[in-house]
Amino acid sequence: MLISEQKPFEEIMQYLDGEKNVFIVGCKGCAEGCETGGEREVMEMRQKLEEAGRTVTGVSVIDFVCNDQLTKMTLRAHESKIVASDSLLVLCCGAGIQATASVVDKVIHPGCNTISLGGRHGEWREGEFCLECGQCVLEFTGGICPIARCPKTLVNGPCGGYRDGMCEVNPDRDCAWVQIFQRLEKLGQKEKLKNMPLLKDYSRSYHARYTALTPTG
């Protein structure tokens, strides 16, 4: 199980700045258990957004959003509503947010942060796509996590070692930052990189870079 918390509503509204129509995705799995993205929370978010002047084109609460094929199949039934939307707001863990981004050619807004379990990972098959950092930056990276997908966990762009779009550490793997740039370019969202947080607070996560510097006794 992954533990998530909803981002502050003010932050979500900043994400939606300049947009009118939004489609909400929730999760019946971990997010429902955490009371951050189940059916009740999705409907509450719908009401808050409508009161704030946004049009919610539709909602979908999927059994497990982290299952990209299930998410793709489920959202296909809402295709016309999604096409009419400026973006999708996804209320679940980072793995589910990225799964949604991988199957929908729309702007994806993360509605939650995924909280560290103190070094224990939840048992879900896309675990390598979320390191439970507690400060989700998927809003600025096109729904592709640079922390989980870059071996160097770089948050300020690619390193100088990548070649022909491939990772320096693993040459058989696409550079995460090249993927991020390509997706943002496709969505017309390259300007978002200018708003990427300059500092990453790793103290909110169980992360080697942080724990290695933490006194143990």
CATH number belonging to domain 3-206: 3.40.50.1860
CA distances to 4, 148, 171 from 48, rounded to whole Å, are: 20, 31, 46
Report phi then psi at 113, rounded to 5: -105, 145
pLDDT along the chain (217 residues), means of 10: 92 97 96 96 98 98 94 97 98 94 96 78 56 90 91 89 91 93 95 84 60 41
Q: Report which of 102, 181, 112 is spatially closest to residue 143, judged by C-alpha positions.
A: 102
pLDDT of residue 207: 52
Q: What pTM did the predictor assign?
A: 0.87
Helices (H), the chain: 9-15, 30-33, 39-51, 68-76, 79-83, 94-103, 146-149, 176-187, 208-211
Instruction: List the domain boundaries for the chain.
Output: 3-206
